[in-house]
Amino acid sequence: MKEIAGKTAVVTGGGSGIGRSISLALANAGANVVIADIEEEAAKAVAEEVMACGVGSFGMQVDVSKLEDVKALSEAVYDKFKSVEILCNNAGVTLRPYRNHWDYSYEEWKWVMDINFWGVQHGHMVFVPNMLKTPGEKHIVNTSSVVTLYTNVKHAAYSSTKAAIDGLSQCAREELKPYDIGVSLLHPGKIRTRLVTSDRLRFNDQKDAQYNVDLWSDGFSNYDPDKSKTFSTSDIKKIVEMGIDPDIASTPYEYIQPTNVGTYVVEGILKNKAHIVTHPLPIDRIKSRFDGILAAEPTYPIK
User: What pLDDT digit, counting tens, does each position of 121-171 carry?
Assistant: 999 999 999 999 999 999 999 999 999 999 888 999 999 999 999 999 999
Which pLDDT score, from 0 to 100, does residue 247 have?
A: 85
CB 57 within 8 A of CB 34: yes
Would you name the residues annotated as active-site residues?
158
d(CA 207, CA 198): 11
CB 90 within 8 A of CB 144: no
d(CA 221, CA 97): 6
d(CA 160, CA 168): 13
Which residue ranges make up each domain of the chain? 8-294
Q: Give which of 165, 112, 150, 174 is closest to 282, Cα–Cα.
A: 150
Q: Give which of 13, 78, 91, 23 is closest to 51, Cα–Cα.
A: 23
Contacts of 194 (CB under 8 A, 6+ apart): 16, 17, 200, 240
Which pLDDT score, from 0 to 100, does residue 302 have?
A: 65
Which pLDDT score, from 0 to 100, does residue 242 have?
A: 52
Q: In one letter, which amino acid is 99?
A: R
CATH of domain 8-294: 3.40.50.720
pLDDT tens string 204-233: 545 444 444 443 333 333 333 333 334 344
Phi, psi for 55 (deg, rounded to 5): -125, 170
Provide the edge-to-edge strand list for the sheet that holds 138-143: 57-61, 32-37, 8-12, 86-89, 138-143, 181-187, 275-277
Where the chain has pLDDT below 70, the residues are 196-197, 199-200, 202-244, 302-303
Angle at 88 between CA 281 and CA 139, to 5 degrees: 90
